[in-house]
Amino acid sequence: MREAVTLSDVAREAGVSPSTVSRVINGTARVAASKREAVLRAIERLHYRPNILAKGLAQGRSLTIGVITQEISSPYYGEMLKGVEQALEGTTYHPIFASGHWRVDQEEAALKVLVSRQVDGLIVMDGSVPEERLQELAHTMPVVVVGRKIPGLQCLGIDNRQGAYEGVQHLIELGHRRIAHIAGPTSHPDAIERLEGYRAALEDAHIPFDPALVVVGDYMEQSGLLAVEALLARGALFTAIFAANDQMAYGANVALYRRGIRVPHDVSLVGFDDLPSSSYFTPPLTTVRQPGPAMGWEAARLILALLEGRDYTPKPLSTQLVVRESTALIRSSGALAAHLLT
């Protein structure tokens, strides 16, 4: 393990004081051309790399942005993290991630880790730590919240209700009237909003809401599969499904496939999120796009602005219906019960 080259090594090599080296590195003050040259050459010669930690300690900041996600391997968070990473690229800041696994205690632990590591700002994606906890943290550092609405904090998010509304409306326009909904966990505000959007779209089309057509899932593929099986088992009649996220739509699709029910021939399917894999799904999934990378990007830019005391108005984040091949015009009404016979 080789000894690290420090700033004073460079100073000695260049025949100047450490302060001067610091100045040429950071451009904090003007330095005579000749000395600057000498310093740069010394840096080159010694392969000097500044120690960001020491810099951070001296400046009272870490040049690090903490990001709390729920599950780093989830494609949904992956997209947002990518956006954060991109936004921070080229700045002196770097993200550091910690996962809450949808559990308050783990989220709290993740928060503690990030605080101990002196993050300069915090991006919180979803989760369920108490509002007060985040508000309290916001006294210490800039905090931006994605996917939750917390009074007094900078919040970023999409209009879930509107997105769901459009997804369902699309099905209605295709002639569907018996539309099942695989909802997200009732503990998630976004799941509730999507359910509201679903109901609103039905209502506006004068289609009565049928509770038997709604099954609650947990946003994971498996629960989508189970939901369809439950629907089928209880003899529910439907010609379309609106899933509260793509992953549950994937699961639903498998369940339908196993029963020989074809998408979109027999049943139309709409998801929510537009994960990267959804366009390569078979059939390519019609879904309500949520701009994952943009959400991460805006959150990061906002933190950066907050950190520099600048003003920044994040671009509005809107959902967009992406029509692919998992939805089709309803067939003759006879089809409606067809799969019940299966």
Partner DNA sequence: CGGATGCTTGACAGCGCTTTCAAAATCTGG
Partner DNA sequence: CCAGATTTTGAAAGCGCTGTCAAGCATCCG
Q: What share of the chain is helix, strand, coil (3-state, %, to 5)?
A: 45, 15, 40
Q: How far is the CB of 98 from DNA (least distance, A)?
A: 19
**Cβ proximity to a copy of itself, 96 vs 205, nearer residue:** 96
Q: How far is the CB of 94 from DNA (least distance, A)?
A: 16
Closest-CA residue to 107 (of 141, 81, 76, 131): 131
Residue 31 near DNA by CB under 7 A: yes
- C-alpha 299/C-alpha 125 separation (Å) is 10
Q: Which residues share a beta bridge with 67? A: 97, 123
Q: Which does 103 bind (CB under 5 to 8 A by kind): DNA, a copy of itself, none?
A: none
**Cβ proximity to a copy of itself, 205 vs 230, nearer residue:** 230
**Cβ proximity to a copy of itself, 51 vs 333, nearer residue:** 51
**Cβ proximity to a copy of itself, 18 vs 50, nearer residue:** 50
AA identity, residue 13: E
Q: Which does 287 bind (CB under 5 to 8 A by kind): DNA, a copy of itself, none?
A: none
**Cβ proximity to a copy of itself, 121 vs 197, nearer residue:** 121
Alpha carbons within 13 A on the beta-carbon side of 157: 20
Report cis status (omega within 30 of 0) of the bond before 264.
yes
On whether the CB atoms of residues 214 and 242 are closer than 8 A, the answer is no
Q: Which does 18 bind (CB under 5 to 8 A by kind): DNA, a copy of itself, none?
A: DNA
Residue 295 DSSP class: H
Residue 57 near DNA by CB under 7 A: yes
- C-alpha 310/C-alpha 329 separation (Å) is 50
Q: Which does 28 bind (CB under 5 to 8 A by kind): a copy of itself, DNA, none?
A: DNA
Residue 4 near DNA by CB under 7 A: yes
Q: How far is the CB of 170 from a copy of itself (least distance, A)?
A: 21
If DSSP states are collapsed to H, E and C, what string results for 204-222? HCCCCCCHHHEEECCCCHH
Q: Which does 20 bind (CB under 5 to 8 A by kind): a copy of itself, DNA, none?
A: DNA
Contacts of 332 (CB under 8 A, 6+ apart): none
Angle 21-24-25 from CA coordinates, rounded to 5°: 85
- C-alpha 93/C-alpha 63 separation (Å) is 5
Binder of DNA out of 12, 40, 46, 55 (CB under 7 A) = 55
**Cβ proximity to DNA, 38 vs 256, nearer residue:** 38
Token reading at 23: 């100045």
Q: How far is the CB of 59 from DNA (least distance, A)?
A: 5
| Residues contributing to the site for a copy of itself (CB under 8 A) | 1-2, 4, 49-54, 56-57, 62, 71-75, 78-79, 81-82, 85, 94-99, 112-113, 115-118, 139-141, 221, 224-225, 247, 250-251, 253-254, 257, 263, 276-277, 279-284, 293
Angle 40-45-51 from CA coordinates, rounded to 5°: 70
What is the contact surface with DNA in residues (CB under 7 A)?
4, 6-8, 16-20, 22-23, 25-26, 28-32, 34-35, 50-51, 54-55, 57-60
